[in-house]
């Protein structure tokens, strides 16, 4: 097991900032910090911080089983149901959630003041997320190995694949 940070002190951990000015539908603006991982056992823990003003992360679904704990602020999700309808979820500081593997696709953002969540993920096959384009199509996955590689090289995980 590799521990990247031994604290969740928001001022002491290293943050990676992600934005996407090409997304016109909503503001992709968040930061993440890798806390630790154990690639052979399929575990990765991280902090995710939404920017104030309803900063979103990318359209995605969790492939890994995921524990979420809201550490500060708020978390909002708009989850696409199998029938195409939307389920809206609002979590506040201190609220906890546990999602099964292969969760439904969703949009996720913080409140007006932002928000920070702890994510603890278990992915026995190594796949953490599936990201989607603006039409919630053309998915691509991101693995624990890719997260580790990008973190160690100082780059951002899950960048939109370039056109071939």
The domains found in the chain, sorted by start residue, are 2-8+15-153 (2.60.120.10)
Tens digits of residue pLDDT in 8-58: 999 999 999 988 777 777 888 899 999 999 999 999 999 999 999 988 888
Strands 86-92 and 106-122: unpaired
Using only C-alpha atoms, the chain has a radius of gyration, in whole angstroms, of: 15
Percent of the chain with pLDDT over 70: 95
The mean pLDDT of 113-138, rounded to a whole number, is 89
Query: Is the model more confident about 160 or about 118?
Result: 118
CA 73 – CA 104 distance, rounded (Å): 23
Tens digits of residue pLDDT in 79-106: 999 999 999 999 999 999 999 998 888 9
**What is the pLDDT at residue 59?**
82
Q: What predicted TM-score, i.e. pTM, was given to this entire model?
A: 0.89
**What is the pLDDT at residue 157?**
66
**What is the pLDDT at residue 158?**
53
Give the H or E element holding residue 73. strand 65-80
Question: Number of helices and strands (H, E) in the chain?
Answer: 1, 11
Q: How many CB atoms lie within 10 A of CB 13?
A: 19
**What is the pLDDT at residue 78?**
92
Q: Which residues, including other chains, have CB under 8 Å from residue 79's CB and lie 6 or more apart?
A: 86, 87, 88, 89, 104, 105, 106
**What is the pLDDT at residue 163?**
38
Per-residue pLDDT band for 115 (boundaries 50, 70, 90) equals very high
CA 163 – CA 128 distance, rounded (Å): 23
Per-residue pLDDT band for 162 (boundaries 50, 70, 90) equals very low
Q: Which residues, including other chains, have CB under 8 Å from residue 98's CB and lie 6 or more apart?
A: 65, 66, 67, 68
């Amino acid at each position: 097991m590799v521990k990247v940070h031994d604290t969740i002190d928001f001022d002491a951990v290293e943050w990676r900032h992600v934005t996407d000015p090409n997304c016109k539908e909503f503001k992709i603006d968040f930061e993440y910090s890798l806390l630790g991982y154990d690639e052979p056992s399929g575990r990765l823990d991280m902090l995710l911080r939404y920017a104030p003003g309803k900063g979103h992360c990318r359209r995605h679904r969790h492939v890994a089983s995921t524990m979420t704990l809201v550490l500060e602020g708020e978390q909002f999700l708009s989850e696409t149901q199998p029938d195409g309808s939307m389920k809206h979820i609002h979590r506040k500081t201190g609220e906890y959630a546990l999602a099964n593997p292969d969760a439904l696709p969703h949009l996720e953002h913080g409140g007006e003041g932002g928000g920070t969540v702890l994510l603890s993920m278990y992915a026995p096959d190594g796949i953490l997320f599936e990201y989607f384009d603006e039409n919630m199509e053309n998915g691509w996955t991101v693995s624990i190995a890719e997260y580790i590689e990008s973190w160690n090289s100082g780059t951002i995980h899950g960048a939109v694949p370039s056109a071939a």
